[in-house]
Structure 1
Amino acid sequence: MINPLNKIIGQEKVKLILEKIISSGKISHAFLFRGLEGVGKEDVAIRFAQAIVFSSNIPKEKKQNYISQIDKLTEPFIKYIFPLPRGKNEVDDDNPYEKLKQDEIELIQEELAKKATNHFYKIQIPKANNIKINSIRDINRFLSLSYDESIKRVIIISDAHLMNEPAQNALLKNLEEPPANIIFILCTSYPERLRETIISRCWNLNFQPLDQKEVEKVLNEKFEIDDSLARKISLLSNGSVTQGLKILNYGLEELKENVIKILRYSFGKKFYSAYKEFENIGKDSDTEYLEIIISLLIHWLNDFNKFRTSSGEIVFRDYQETFEKFYSRYPDINLLPLANRLDEISTRLKNNINLNLAISNIICEISSVIPAK
């Protein structure tokens, strides 16, 4: 039987820490897995739960059975908490599923089945905007289930930053007086949205972006994306499987073509034409799409520096002529400050900056690097 931690893709430092924790026999009652979305935090959390069982002194048959149940997110050895929609007339004392419609429950079951098959899969449920207090209170039901008391059980909270204030308060009570044999693992890309009293009661582990090969492997093995496309997407993913999947969803070639047009019009100070390329973004208030466009704009700027110095792999290789023409006109231009300013705009998007203002800033920033004639 293979140690489940050895199935983790990437995150070698985190894996080493978890191995040492298990070997010590002194496992904290709460962990905070923090890092970019799509770097495997929840996969590691599930593998960690399995590894605890793997290291336990129980018969092999039981061990295999328990590890299999955890892999499928099956209670009573693991509880997976995630954002859910709120049912009609639902109150905080209701069971989290009690007031949901049947089609909502069926969708949730389908999404959980996908998650159990692929731990990198991101559950998607309409109107599931936060983790409700009754989902946290449901921990009491989980605690009452009968189980093999020689095994520690794990509660994983996905997108922990989406707990509303009552939910965070309810969780804090559990962390202050942790139940016996229970380990909490909070996974989040935004730890700053959690109460400091929660963070301070957790063993914090920072997850790094995956490297290009690791993203490629996940896309290929977990999402069955063919080798060539997985490789192209992984180069643009910024170390995040989630980012890679978003690029795939919007269409890689279409995105790259849009980026080239935005750059061409903005460098040429054709502001109206540049803005038209963003028109659908502003109309649909699609922050996610705009973040991807900014990311690809930065990739093109970095590619230009690689082209100029003949170093590194160029993502926009299919648009070689854009580098050649731009270099012939502006051989000494420094685009690094522009890349930094675009990155700042992307960061401000997370703070609900107006999209039209962001788009205008992007166009102005790009056009400003070209000297006036």
Structure 2
Amino acid sequence: MNTFRFAFGCLLLGSAGAMAQTGSSFTNFIRQVQLPSGVQWDASVAASGSQQSSLAIDPGGARFELWTVQSLSGATPLLLDSKYVGTYVPIAQVAIRSADPYVTIPRTRVDKPFYVDYSVSGLLSDPSAPAAAKSVNFLRHIQSYGAGGTGIGIDKTQATLFNTSSISSNVTATLTFPVTALVATPQTKVRGEERFSFFSLDDYQSPASQLAAQFIQIWPVADGSISGVTMNQKIRFAMPQVSLTMNDVYPSSTTYAQIYQGPAVLGTVGTVVPGSSLVVNETIPQSRVLTLTNWDRIFDADGQWTMELVTSTPFGVERLAYVTFNLDRTIQVNGNVTTID
């Protein structure tokens, strides 16, 4: 029997990108797939630790997969990572990172860069060694979720192979991608994922097998609008009811309306309008409409004012929409005074 080790809190079988869940609402398990027979065996595992593999490793090797599933009715199991173990199989690692520190699944926004760290070791230089011991294939797949898609239950076998390369020397390197290869109309509304994987070569003992893989989710740029007050509107007495529309706000974000006196100036820090904040800590983008009423009390003077709809994400603070208006609550009384002598 072979012993495999897993440490979900930090790394799993060498991958830094996939993190198992530690909460009681999640179940984690390792699936061992024997090659070339395809016999499977599942073993429930804790958030970290080590144990013997469920089955002996056959000459063709075995693939170990880490899965996690939330303990909810209808929840879809999520494959976090996999590793192939064989007689003379090279070792490969791949991890993806972005400016978003979310640990469960790497993710970023369509207009932001991401980085792929990878390494290959154990490749042989002996000309007489089997081909599978001297080279591995590095693949990049892309897969759109479609308009409004979330990726839940997606068939990953339908991903498009964007490019592939052969690596025949031991290496540690980083690839930088300024933007995703996914496309949409408009491009700011891309939803999908990119997957980077290493595969061994087909061999007489076993078929080509995945050595390591990691994917990153790509989410759209948020947009928003302010309705109920128009540009340069003159407002007398009570403030009108205002609606804030927020579309595709990032899964980790705080979006709110703020006001400040004077014309619109990017980067200005104003006063947050009560009842306007939307705090999102989710796995997918969110859309909301908030209505503001009875918010007169935050204005301490008449004159020109600006309201901005602002979102704060791991990538910084950005303005989604703004409107500038004039407030005049001064009451003028015109009259005269007469006396009778």
Give the TM-score category using the shorter length: under 0.3
Name whichever structure is richer in helix by fraction.
1
- Greater RCO (Cα-Cα under 8 Å, separation 6 or more): 1
Please say which structure displays the higher CA radius of gyration. 2
Name whichever structure is richer in strand by fraction.
2
- The TM-score, its normalising length taken from structure 1, stands at 0.25
- The TM-score, its normalising length taken from structure 2, stands at 0.27
